[in-house]
Amino acid sequence: MIENSKLGQIRALCFDVFGTVVDWRTTVIRELELFGSEQEIKADWSEFADRWRTEGYMGGMRLVQEGSLAFQSADALHLRMLNILLEEIGFDVKNNLATVDHLNRVWHRLQPWPDSVAGLENLRSNFIVSTLSNGNMSLLTNMAKYSNLRWDVILSAEITGAFKPNPECYKNAANLLGLNTDEVMLVAAHEGDLLAAEAVGFSTAYIFRPDEYGTDNTKVLKPDLPFDFIANDFNHLAEILAAHKIN
Amino acid sequence: MIENSKLGQIRALCFDVFGTVVDWRTTVIRELELFGSEQEIKADWSEFADRWRTEGYMGGMRLVQEGSLAFQSADALHLRMLNILLEEIGFDVKNNLATVDHLNRVWHRLQPWPDSVAGLENLRSNFIVSTLSNGNMSLLTNMAKYSNLRWDVILSAEITGAFKPNPECYKNAANLLGLNTDEVMLVAAHEGDLLAAEAVGFSTAYIFRPDEYGTDNTKVLKPDLPFDFIANDFNHLAEILAAHKIN
């Protein structure tokens, strides 16, 4: 938590994307079900989606952070795990490369949360709005175009060559925006991301997205989260910032 | 010039910015005149603007290409020359740092050519539209916001750490867009930029901007320019691409 005088300096909002701006799980499960029906394969597609995300993407990034895997794009990490998961269910990956590539790009076609498009546009009238995602530049660009998310600029871990929560990722984003870190706020649904941003001097806004892991989840808002703002969605955040005259 | 089969593959248009999208000279002269009137300084502001551009920015980039100056942002190159030019006309730079900084950022506030905003939006319906400029990321981001230029993604020499016409600059842009170089077209008002892009496999569209160096200039369209398309402005380019069924 930071002193109030600093909050008045905020010029740019950097957004985490997967889970914060877009509902990755619903879109991925829907496309996997479609794939299963076209290919006549039965599988637990929710579990497939969760393992793709957790073991493939997050696990892959952990290997990169530890130094046991070279830095690579989110697309590459996704493809690595998709091949493993498809082979487990007996799909012939080698003779269906175009199908696999299309499926891998489901992460370029994720649907926003209901408030995201309008909420971003609302916030964009007072701040520079930017992505700050571990997704690669083309993934974020294609997603924005596909889902009509209007960013002032797209920033990604790919530009830094290091994934969040590496501090260089946040520092480089501020640098590319021509701002000091205390002029930037990270908006995210994930505590670790926000804590890492705060450690380099960013302000922080936590967005409560209880349905990121499904509506049968029972995620509750933790009390006393150590962030500058807590909001239910992007329009709520805009209201809170306006009420604090931060714009 | 490239074979027609390749043109059908174009997925993204990368735009040079200074002179191609924005009329840098008119805006810079206007702000310099305002500065002169506020500070009660008389000078030849057109010559000031031209030297700022030619000796400062283009000369600075040449020093970087030759290796006698470290890579730095366009903002830094602009400030380096602005200080020299202001000292020449007797302005006290050291005691007016905020004024100098504001003036240096005139390059963040450049006005688009009359067709640019609508023409870009027109082209954006069929292609990914991106900057590919030697201007730094924050300069391009602020300019887009200020002038309502809607880019799908902002790419800059700053990300590569090398200025155009270094081939790495174009190759890295294609790479960040997730495309092969033959899926990208450079749109520019400058032959050297287009030739360098063509050399790495980009398609090319030359935009004739005769007024870049002032309306008293008598620039004429050269015959037999070796580019895929020649257009008078962005809407004209959209018409030409549609007539060739490239969309």
ipTM: 0.94
Nearest by CB to A145, from B128, B139, B154: name it: B128
- Nearest-CA distance A79 → chain B (Å): 14
Q: Residue holding tokens 């935009």?
A: B207
Chain B residues in contact with A153 by the CB 8 A cut-off are 137, 140-141, 144, 154
Q: Is the CB of B153 less than 8 angstroms away from the CB of A176? A: no
Q: With beta carbons less than 8 A apart as the criterion, state whether B19 and B189 touch.
A: yes
DSSP bridge pairs for A15: A131, A187
**Taking CB atoms and an 8 Å limit, are B177 and A152 in contact across chains?**
no
DSSP E strand boundaries for chain A: 12-15, 128-133, 153-156, 184-188, 203-207, 229-231
Q: Do A139 and B178 count as a contact with CB atoms less than 8 A apart?
A: yes
Read off the pLDDT band of B23 (50, 70, 90).
very high
Interface contacts (A, B; CB < 8 Å): 56
What's the gap in Å between the CA of B247 and the closest CA on chain A?
A: 16
Best CA proximity match to A94, nearest among A79, A85, A103, A83: A83
* Residue A110: DSSP 8-state: P
Rg, chain A, Cα only: 18
Closest residue to B128, CB basis, from A75, A141, A152: A141
Nearest to B141 among A136, A138, A153 (CB): A153
B224 to chain A, closest Cα gap in Å: 35
Q: How far is CA B115 from CA A79, B53, B211, in A?
A: 41, 23, 14
Task: Say yes or no to pLDDT of B1 above 50.
Answer: no
Is residue B98's pLDDT more than 80? yes
Would you tell me which CATH number, out of the four given (3.30.43.10, 3.30.1330.40, 3.40.50.1000, 3.40.50.10490), belongs to the domain A4-23+111-243? 3.40.50.1000
Cα–Cα distance for residue pair B178/A180, rounded to 1 Å:
30
Q: What is the average pLDDT value for chain A, to the nearest integer?
A: 95
Percent of chain A with pLDDT over 90: 90
Chain A nearest CA to B155, separation (Å): 9
Output the CA–CA distances (angstroms, integers) from residue B222 to A206, B107, B196, B207, B230, in the order listed.
57, 29, 18, 12, 10
Per the model's pLDDT, the better-predicted residue between A219 and A148 turns out to be A148
User: Averaged over A187-209, what is the pLDDT?
Assistant: 98
Taking CA atoms, what residue in B is nearest to A76? B178
pLDDT tens-digit readout, A26-71: 999 999 999 999 999 999 999 999 999 999 999 999 999 999 999 9
Please answer yes or no on whether B178 and A145 come within 8 Å at the CB atom: no
Which residue bears the tokens 């600059």?
B169
CB contacts of B144 in chain A (<8 Å) are 152-153
CB contact under 8 A, B138 and A75: no
What is the tens place of the pLDDT at every residue in B31-67? 999 999 999 999 999 999 999 999 999 999 999 999 9
**Fold classification of B24-108 (topology level):** DNA polymerase; domain 1 (1.10.150)
Is a pLDDT exceeding 90 seen at residue A115? yes
Peptide bond into A226 cis (omega under 30): no
Judged by CB atoms closer than 8 Å, whether chains meet at B75 and A178 is answered as yes
CATH topology of domain B4-23+112-243: Rossmann fold (3.40.50)
Structure tokens at A7: 């909050």
User: Structure tokens of A12?
Assistant: 């740019």
What percentage of chain B carries pLDDT values higher than 90? 90
Say whether pLDDT at B132 is over 50: yes
Q: How confident is the model at residue A245 (pLDDT cuts 50, 70, 90)?
A: confident
Nearest C-alpha neighbor of A33 from the set A24, A47, A48, A45? A45
With 60 as the cut, is the pLDDT of residue A104 above it?
A: yes
Q: Parse chain B into domains and list their residue ranges.
A: 4-23+112-243, 24-108
Predicted confidence band of residue B5 (pLDDT cuts 50, 70, 90): low
Among the listed residues B174, B172, B178, B160, the one whose alpha carbon sits nearest the alpha carbon of residue B203: B174
User: Could you tell me the end-to-end alpha-carbon distance of chain A, in angstroms, rounded to an integer?
Assistant: 19
Q: Give residue B209's pLDDT band: very low, low, confident or very high (50, 70, 90).
A: very high
Chain B residues whose C-beta is within 8 A of a chain A C-beta are 75, 128, 130, 136-142, 144-145, 150, 152-154, 158-159, 176-179
A185 and A13 in contact (C-beta within 8 Å)? yes
pLDDT for position B4: 58
A21: left (phi over 0), alpha (psi -120 to 50) or beta: alpha
For A175-179, B162-166, B217-221, which range has the lowest pLDDT when averaged over its residues? B217-221
Interface test with B, best of A101, A109, A141 (most B CBs within 10 A): A141
